[in-house]
Amino acid sequence: MAKKLYIKTYGCQMNVYDTVRMTDVLAPLGYETTDRPDGADMVILNTCHIREKASEKVFSELGQLRKLRDRRESEGGDRMLIGVAGCVAQAEGEEILRRAKHVDMVFGPQTYHRLPEMVAEALGNTSGRGISDTDFPVESKFDFLPEESQAHGSSAFLSVQEGCDKFCTFCVVPYTRGAEFSRPVTAIVDEARRLVANGSREITLLGQNVNGFHGEGPDGKSWRLGRLLRELAEVDGIERLRYITSHPNDMDDELIQTHRDLSELMPYLHLPIQSGSDRILEMMNRKHTGDDYRRVIGKLRDACPELALSSDFIIGFPGETDQDFADTLRLVTDINYAQAYSFKYSPRPGTPAAGIDAQVPEDVKSKRLAMLQELLNAQQISFNQSMVGKTLSVLVERKGREEGQLGGRSPYMQSVFIQAPERLMGQIVDVRIETARPNSLTGSVVTGDFGVLDAHNGDDAITAMEARI
Ligand code: 5AD
Ligand code: SF4
């Protein structure tokens, strides 16, 4: 009988990809995925270490799992294996094994290809202490991962690059994910072909520093991301391409030109700047100024005028003054984002910024964050409003919450809801946008044999007036 596997994923898309690949590794051992921990024979938490809040969740979740496991044992059930994977495992593996004795396996993002050996060892382990594998092995896990054991959906992630050598002073990634590594182009193209053969139409290339990609090309030379995107655009069946996450300094001209040339490359780019203050950017070791960023955005918009932009912001980096924060607001106003993520600075153990004395008080961080988010929300709402009356192509990916409703993504990553028959799942359809909400759009399908289908006009649709409040 198949054994049940439940993996809970925290954090970024890299972790989402790793979770899928862990299920591929465990499939030959007879594990099938389930969407709940109770009744599972193995539970893995795939964790995130980026901010304190994300890390803390692991220990509370492990407490819940202990209860579940004890109950299962007292009811005479088989043993439940508990694993902790991802970046918290990498950074705090020993601490986890010490504090949570019921954890059987701890392993990092670079070693999950060895899961079969770890599982065998954990099942035979009677020492009362879990096993750990958090090396940075010389071999690449990609050379050992099996082919995908399942379809990855109409929109799939493909990891092309991992790790980071940039050492921004706030960030744990160089320590949890290790040095930059790019996969060879042929392996990436082969994986993309298999994804398409299994029904994927959109592929998002992933990397902590994806535009720092420098993988070996079929010609033996080092290829940058622009060249890789051109190669992938040639693959039959790939209709949409995206990439995430990029650093402004690696936005080379070849990559910028792909935004002009490739119709498959979606006109949406996540390009984090973190702060609009040159002083803070310097302290963050970002190695660029606000104006450098503005220039890159200018070039991108020249190449692709409809490009929608997104960014990450850290508020309350040590030493951030009112003036620094005002510079961030000014930059946001200048760029005009379609969407963005903003976070309060969270000191991370072992990173240089955590040791700076001038930490910003929590209440100041909160006030600034609220102001920034108000501005960003207003920009997002007006971006969404500007879509009303337009026809957007939508990749239909999932069922909506309401009866007969389906949801998908516009080229600009907006969630779009339509009333449509389920047979449209996995298709790219043209949708006339009728209403805009802060986080989604609704509209009617206008293409294909389907005729015009009624849109759902929800009560919570916003008007331009409300948007301004
Ligand atoms: N505190 C707050 N936010 C952080 N990020 C990374 N490290 C920290 C930190 N120590 C944010 C950055 C990054 C995103 C993934 O998380 O904005 O781009
Ligand atoms: Fe979290 Fe960063 Fe690790 Fe992704 S790479 S899981 S965001 S710490």
- 45 shares a domain with 177: no
Question: Residue 469, exposed/middle/buried by CB under 10 A (0-12, 13-18, 19+)?
Answer: exposed
CA of residue 383 to ligand 1 center, whole Å: 25
Q: Coil, strand or helix: which one is 326? A: helix
| 262-308: pLDDT as tens digits | 999 999 999 999 999 999 999 999 999 999 999 999 999 999 999 99
Q: Indicate whether 358 belongs to any domain.
A: no
**Ligand 2: which residues within 6 Å by Cβ?**
11-12, 14-15, 48-50, 86-87, 172-173, 176-177, 208
201 lies in some domain: yes
Ligand 2 atom closest to 46 (CA): 6
pLDDT of residue 53: 83
Least distant ligand from the CA of 343: 1
272 ligand 1 Cβ < 6 A: yes
Task: State the number of CA atoms in the 13 A half-sphere of 449 facing the CB.
Answer: 1
Calculate how far, in angstroms, residue 208's C-alpha sits from the geometric centre of ligand 2: 8
DSSP letter, residue 212 = G
Q: Which of 133, 158, 180 marks a domain boundary?
A: 133
The reported pLDDT for the residue numbered 220 is 97
Residues of the chain under the 50 pLDDT cut = 449, 451-469
Q: What pairing do the DSSP bridges indicate for beta strands 202-206 and 105-107?
A: unpaired
Q: Is 317 in the pocket of ligand 1 (CB under 6 A)?
A: no
Q: Which of 245, 280, 343 best tests ligand 1's pocket when mutated (most atoms within 8 Å of CB)?
A: 343
Length of the chain: 469
Provide the 8-state DSSP code for 462.
B
Q: How far apart (Å, rounded) are the C-alpha atoms in residues 467 and 436?
A: 10
For ligand 1, atom 16, name the residue with the nearest CA. 50
Residue 269: inside a domain: yes
CATH of the domain at 88: 3.40.50.12160
Q: For the segment 304-343, what is each residue's pLDDT rounded down to a tens digit?
A: 999 999 999 999 999 999 999 999 999 999 999 999 999 9
Q: Which helix (H) or strand (E) holds 216?
A: strand 215-216
Domain extent, residue 433, equals: 391-468
Distance from the CA of 95 to the center of ligand 2, in angstroms?
18
What pLDDT is stored for residue 252 in this prediction?
Answer: 98
Q: What is the 3-state secondary structure (H, E, C) of 361-393?
A: CHHHHHHHHHHHHHHHHHHHHHHHHCCCCCEEE
What was the pLDDT predicted at 453? 44
CA distances from residue 206 to 172, 182, 290, 398 in whole angstroms, order as listed: 18, 11, 25, 22
Last residue of a domain, one of 76, 110, 133: 133
| Same domain for 253 and 145 | yes
- The ligand with the least distance to the CA atom of 348 is 1
- 157 and 215 belong to one structural domain: yes
Identify whether 350 is part of a domain: no
Does 347 reside within a domain?
A: no
How far is the centre of ligand 1, averaged over its atoms, from the C-alpha of 318 (Å)? 13
| Residues 119 and 150 occupy one common structural domain | no
Atom of ligand 1 nearest to the CA of 342: 17
C-alpha span between 438 and 398 (Å, rounded): 20
Number of the ligand 1 atom closest to the C-alpha atom of 172: 7
Task: Name the DSSP class of 182.
Answer: E
Closest CA to 145 of 203, 92, 194: 194
Could you give the number of structural domains in the chain?
A: 3
User: What pLDDT score does 421 carry?
Assistant: 94
- At residue 154, the pLDDT reads 95
Write down the pTM of the prediction: 0.91
Query: Based on the domain organization, do 105 and 187 belong to the same domain?
Result: no
Q: Is 345 in the pocket of ligand 1 (CB under 6 A)?
A: yes
For residues 342 and 274, give the distance between their C-alpha atoms in angstroms, rounded to a whole number.
8
Nearest CA to ligand 2 atom 6: 48
- 107 and 134 in contact (C-beta within 8 Å)? yes
Ligand 1 and 274: CB distance under 6 A: yes
In 3-state terms, what secondary structure has residue 104?
coil
Q: Which atom of ligand 1 is nearest to the CA of 272?
A: 18
Domain annotation covers residue 360: no
Residues 70 and 153 in one domain: no
Tell me the C-alpha to C-alpha distance, in Å, between residue 348 and each of 49, 53, 172, 180: 8, 11, 7, 20
Q: Is the distance from the beta carbon of residue 163 to the nearest atom of ligand 1 less than 6 Å?
A: no
- Check pocket membership of 51 for ligand 1, CB cut-off 6 A: yes
Same domain, 197 and 286: yes
Ligand 1 mean position to 119 CA, how many Å? 33
Are 128 and 145 within one domain?
no
Region of residue 259 (phi > 0: left; psi between -120 and 50: alpha; otherwise: beta):
alpha
Nearest CA to ligand 2 atom 1: 48
In this structure, what DSSP letter does residue 112 have?
Answer: G
By percentage, how much of the chain surpasses pLDDT 90?
86
Query: Per the omega criterion (within 30 degrees of 0), is the bond before 245 cis?
Result: yes
CATH code (residue 456)? 2.40.50.140
Q: How far is the CA of 58 from the centre of ligand 2 (A)?
A: 14
Residue 182 and residue 127 share a domain: no
**Gap from CA of 346 to ligand 1 centroid (Å):** 8
Atom 6 in ligand 1: residue holding the nearest Cα: 171
Would you say residue 23 lies in a domain?
yes
The C-alpha angle with vertex 84 and arms to 80 and 86, in degrees rounded to 5, equals 150
Indicate which CATH number applies to the domain containing 223: 3.80.30.20
Last residue of a domain, one of 261, 286, 315: 315
From 190, 189, 163, select the one nearest 178 (Cα to Cα).
163
Distance CA 131, CA 124 (A): 11
Q: In this structure, are 244 and 158 located in the same domain? A: yes
Pair 85, 172 in one domain: no
Residue 382 counted as domain residue: no
Q: Are residues 28 and 146 in the same domain?
A: no
